[in-house]
Structure 1
């Protein structure tokens, strides 16, 4: 019972170390359970029962003391940069104590063996760039009891882990335990080797989001993700993590930061105003069939090039006079470029107007137009409407009979009478002006009746 209590003390020491460090949840832990063998013979000691160091090192049959049950437990904590701190407790029975110089085996009477040890070891796994082969060296110390006698030891270990999975390994280890000199004279516990083999279970590390990536390695510790993305999610499965994906819910390409380009025009869908029609980058992904720089959807004439100020349509020239309607003061009447698209009054037209105007008759000494002049006035109106932008002056003239003042007044009245008639029958009043010249501008002699008749007239002249 007293021997069992010693093993329990060693086990509690192991578990106590684990509990004391449990708050560091991001550090991985490992527990090993297995068997151990105590070999007293090949340690190079001076005692009769000990041979030269490493002498018959592998002679398990004659020298190894093995308890056929679980006899060793270890707990290890990784402390960084390849180093691990491990504590272990072990129990055994000593019935093979070595041999005498003549080769006679030295037996012991089932002495109880208990040990509690601590070790700092360095792994060469990273140096070997392997994930399954894990050799290590370790140094440490401990306390060993053989039956009723205990002694401190200085330990050197060599071992190897064969990792079957990320969490499970086979551990094999050999430890040289040197008993401090003060205790060697008592024979027990002597300097010895302790070999062990067992299974190692690795665990530890906090995984808040449960995605299999520990928080310390998880770039997105609160959101389940993928191992290949260091624990970050890729919702749309396009190979770009959500945090770097401008379109996390729609699969896209790295070229467009995770967004798609449905129409393949080089403009990502979120920036493409026409995502299902291939277009131009300068038009935000929309097409321009006529190449006038206006997207088809905003182009009044998508198949005919035209300026933006005309809604993408070409300017027309309805009257075919060479002047575009936008610049044509007379878009429905063919004219000349020099006259802004309006027809020009020729000398022939001017002559015709005055031939008609000369036929306008008035009551004698009055400005009242005679009824028979209506037809010729309508002919004048027809000519004026052919030149909608041309302006005219209606001039009144008299002969020299009578007082000059009266003639002046009469010529004004007759010119205005003609203007009034024209305006009342559809001619824009702003195109017409009326003036009387009295007897000042004769075109014939006033000495004859025929000459005076020619001087009594109305003229309609183009205002230039």
Structure 2
């Protein structure tokens, strides 16, 4: 027993290296329990005879009533683990064989037994697809002492782990230790059986969510197993790392963002998230389908252009020409004349009937008193056609010189224009010209003819 402390220290040093599950997540494992040593195999006549009383614990097994083995192992990948086992026992049942070939069990005097063994173990758990039953085979070697005598051994055997939880198992193991000396007085070859508990450890779980960092896509944030350790803050079934709206429950269609009004536009892109709308208007409705969102439409129930705030253009005078295009928005006209009334032949005849009755003082460009009423009537007619342009043409009879008559005709035409402009007719609508005596409409040889030739005519200027 003097080497027992050495074995315990060596095992504890191995345990102290690190700790967790005997796989890629928890690579470390510690096992401890009781062991039984059976020396009968050293007296076997053949291979089969070695197992003839394999389970005869009462007669052949050496067991001490305490924890008598400690194993530390580490997973290295590909279902393989390497381990170190320290064990102690008392040999009070040593099987011997006499010269007559008969076996007997003797007590050699409570011989101390201790061993230190290394092994390589292959697990079949993944191969059989089990989550709790873990059979394995191992092979290895070590050194075993019986009192002060010791020898190296070659070891092989089987192990069965029954996992209660992910990290705790019941472990049963049986192995054969072949002594190189195989001398009963030094160290006979023997079976060693073990039963105990195994604890797996060593995996890292930084965020404590029960998912090891190796398999955790979000190792620094507690998460859910179904999302490989990533959180789903809004509980919409989309992990935060893939959720564009992690704090608002949404749908996968919109990468985790909600669509409150169900218009197919996620709220984050919807200018009107509570009212169903159209995509072209950022999710806002357009009741009159004029391409202007109701919130920006001054007339949401009447289609109209954007230039007029979504309202239809008015046609104040009802002539079919919109006010924006109507040169005469308050007077009915025609589209051909840009909304202004057409100056008809009847209107022109009336203007000229008035114009021919304009009376000037003899040889002058001033009006006689009775002419002002005529000029007022002409003004009223011109006001009805605010965008029509007219030419005021002055004419004289042949009395006097041509130069004098030309000047007089120009001045009289200008006098008519001046009066009309001063009484509200735009100057750019009127043109004053004189023709002197060059365009008579009657004979200048008679008094009546001369009276007809002294006149003012009105002509419509067409663009």
User: What interval of TM-score do these two structures reach, taking the shorter chain for normalisation?
Assistant: over 0.9
Counterpart for residue 108 of structure 2: 108
Give the deviation of 1:298 after TM superposition. Answer: 2.2
2:327 aligned residue: 329
TM-score, scaled to structure 2: 0.93
Give the stretch that moved more between structures: 120-129 or 390-399.
Answer: 120-129
User: Equivalences for 1:283-432 in 2 at 5 Å?
Assistant: 283-432=281-430
CA distance in 1, matches of 2:144, 2:186: 10
Q: CA shift at 1:212, angstroms?
A: 2.6
Q: Does 1:69 align with 2:66?
A: yes
Deviation per CA, 1:336-365: give whole Å up to 9, x if none: 122122111101000000111122222211
CA distance in 1, matches of 2:369, 2:210: 112
* CA displacement at 1:146 relative to structure 2: 0.9
Q: Cα RMSD between the aligned structures?
A: 2.2
TM-score, normalised with respect to structure 1: 0.93
Contact 2:231–2:239 (8 Å) recurs in 1? yes
Q: Which residue of 201, 206, 213 corresponds with 1:208?
A: 206
Following superposition, the deviation at residue 413 of structure 1 comes to 0.6
Q: Report if aligned partners of 2:43, 2:103 keep a CA contact under 8 Å in 1.
A: no
Q: 1:455 to 1:51 in 2, by over 3 A?
A: closer
Q: For 2:350, what is the secondary structure of its paired residue? A: helix
Deviation string for 1:43-100 (max 9, x for gaps)? 67459xx982211111111111111111111111111121111111111111112264
CA distance in 2, matches of 1:104, 1:41: 9
For 2:359 and 2:62, how far apart are their aligned partners in 1? 155
Q: How many residues align?
A: 456
Residue pair 1:393, 1:435 contacting (<8 A) in 2 also: yes
Structure 2 stretches lacking a partner, 5+ long: none
Distance 2:263 2:130 in 1: 46
After superposition, give the CA deviation of every residue in 1:384-437 in whole Å (9 maximum; x if it has no partner).
111111100011111111111111111111111110111111111111000011
Does the CA-based 8 Å contact 2:121-2:136 persist in structure 1? yes
Aligned ranges for residues 26-65 of structure 1 at < 5 Å? 28-42=27-41, 45=44, 52-65=49-62
Aligned-partner SS, 1:134: strand
SS of residue paired to 1:231 = coil
Contact 1:65 1:94 in 2 (8 A): yes
Cα distance between partner residues in 2 of 1:328 and 1:187: 130
1:150 matched to 2:150? The reply is yes
* Distance in 2 of aligned mates of 1:380 and 1:93: 145
3-state SS of the aligned residue for 1:392? strand
Report the more deviating stretch, 198-207 or 293-302: 293-302
**Aligned partners of 2:376, 2:5: CA distance in 1, in Å?**
135
Tell whether 2:119 aligns with 1:122: no
User: Partner residue of 1:97?
Assistant: 94
**Kindly tell me: are residues 43 and 377 of structure 1, through their superposed partners in 2, closer, same or farther at Cα, counting changes over 3 Å?**
farther
1:271-304 deviations in whole A, cap 9, x for unaligned? 1111111112222211111122222222232212
Q: Following the alignment from structure 1 to structure 2, what is the Cα–Cα distance between the partners of residues 230 and 44?
A: 57
Where does residue 445 of structure 1 map in the other structure? 443
Compute the displacement of 1:461 (Å): 1.5
